[in-house]
Amino acid sequence: MRREEGLLENIVRRSSSPWMDGSGTMSDVVISSRVRLARNLRDVEFPHRMDEKAAKTVFDKVKNAVLDVNARKAVPELTCIDLEDVSPLDRQVLVEKHLMSPQHAQPLPGRGLVTRPDERVSIMVNEEDHLRIQCLYSGLELDEAYITANGMDDLLDERLDFAYDDRTGFLTACPTNVGTGLRASVMVHLPALAIGDEVSRVLSAVNKMGLVVRGLYGEGTEGQGNVYQVSNQITLGQSEKEILENLSLIAKQVVAEEKRYRETLMKNRRSALEDRIFRAWGILTNARSMSSEEAVRLWSDVRLGVELGLIDGPDVTHINEILVIAQPNFVMRSHGRTMSSEERDIARAELLRRHLASMKS
């Protein structure tokens, strides 16, 4: 088996990733931090204007640059995967694991994914930009994610000629990314604010501070399981340091609001909260059929119970894996075939029962 095939197989068959291991600062509320750098090659049309030949040329240039990085042994070994060789099902699993965007899963020539065994780094080739360098860390660790992404950017910049203007900065397909090309985001879990009907108020305030709030899988998705991604909206006119500091400051304010409501619930509504959490636990551990929406909704209550110390036994890492296990394509990949919605619901419930039972052994 080729190294690319072996790495891909390992990634799509396992439900865990380092970004969900429950480590890092404020990880009881902040599930993960992501830093993404948009880069384009000089004198090459943006992906939405490229023909097939140009797209494949970009992919080959990136692949050769990655091979050279590997030869120098500067970072953990990277693997460049041609997405034309990846099944539609496996591409969707990569989306469900947050290694690439839903848009990047579309079957277009020249698209690729560069990653490494720990999944800490993933580089989308020929998505909206020629390269989107992404780094994911558990908890509120924006600085760590940026250091890794910036280091990868420097290594590739030595081998690729990036489009850069001395006045405006890095040139990107979308004007909002021009400048640093940096998009930073934090994935936050806000169940207490949801129970207290305060999520809309808090997220509205975040929007007014110049940030954007999206759902579990980014742009165009909803906040399933009370999970939201908060990110910077503008990259032009701000330094990388300013972007990261501003996002970190606002993320800490959101965390403080969520923790305050958790304390209020524990003090004033503990019996009702416990009932809600243990009902969710009972359904997850016993149900025979379950939709992905229900699974993620119940996951939110169970994760809250674990973080508050109400549910004893399971660790956050295994609880967080439910975010992947519950997704439709991961369920089908685990069973090696496509399924109807009803079949998936039955298979999902079985996977969840097995997963949660394994935590007790």
Q: Residue written as tokens 């007014």?
A: 208
DSSP code per residue over 210-263 = TEEEEBTTBTT---GGGEEEEEES--TTS-HHHHHHHHHHHHHHHHHHHHHHHH
Asked if pLDDT for residue 124 goes beyond 60, the answer is: yes
Residue 73 pLDDT grade (very low, low, confident, very high; cuts 50, 70, 90): confident
Average pLDDT over residues 178-200: 95
pLDDT tens digits, one per residue of 254-284: 999 999 999 999 999 999 999 999 999 999 9
Asked if pLDDT for residue 67 goes beyond 50, the answer is: yes
For residue 41, list its beta bridge partners. Answer: 162
Confidence at residue 76, expressed as pLDDT on a 0 to 100 scale = 84
Asked if pLDDT for residue 59 goes beyond 50, the answer is: yes
Confidence at residue 1, expressed as pLDDT on a 0 to 100 scale = 44
Average pLDDT over residues 289-310: 96
Confidence at residue 217, expressed as pLDDT on a 0 to 100 scale = 63
Q: For residue 285, which of 332, 355, 334 has the smallest C-alpha distance?
A: 355
Least confident piece of the model among 147-151, 228-232, 265-269, 311-315: 311-315
Task: Tell me what percent of the residues of the chain surpass a pLDDT of 70.
Answer: 97
End-to-end C-alpha distance for the chain, whole angstroms: 34
Residue 127 structure tokens = 């998505």
| 3-state DSSP assignment of residue 126 | coil
DSSP code per residue over 322-344 = HHHHTSHHHHHHHHTS---HHHH
For residue 294, list its beta bridge partners. Answer: none
Average pLDDT over residues 127-134: 97
Q: Which residue has the higher pLDDT, 233 or 86?
A: 86
Across the chain, what does the average pLDDT equal? 93
Confidence at residue 219, expressed as pLDDT on a 0 to 100 scale = 56
> What CA–CA distance (Å, rounded) separates 261 from 277?
16
Residue 318 pLDDT grade (very low, low, confident, very high; cuts 50, 70, 90): very high
Q: Residue written as tokens 């959101």?
A: 254
Asked if pLDDT for residue 332 goes beyond 70, the answer is: yes
Q: Is the distance from CB of 24 to CB of 138 less than 8 angstroms?
A: yes
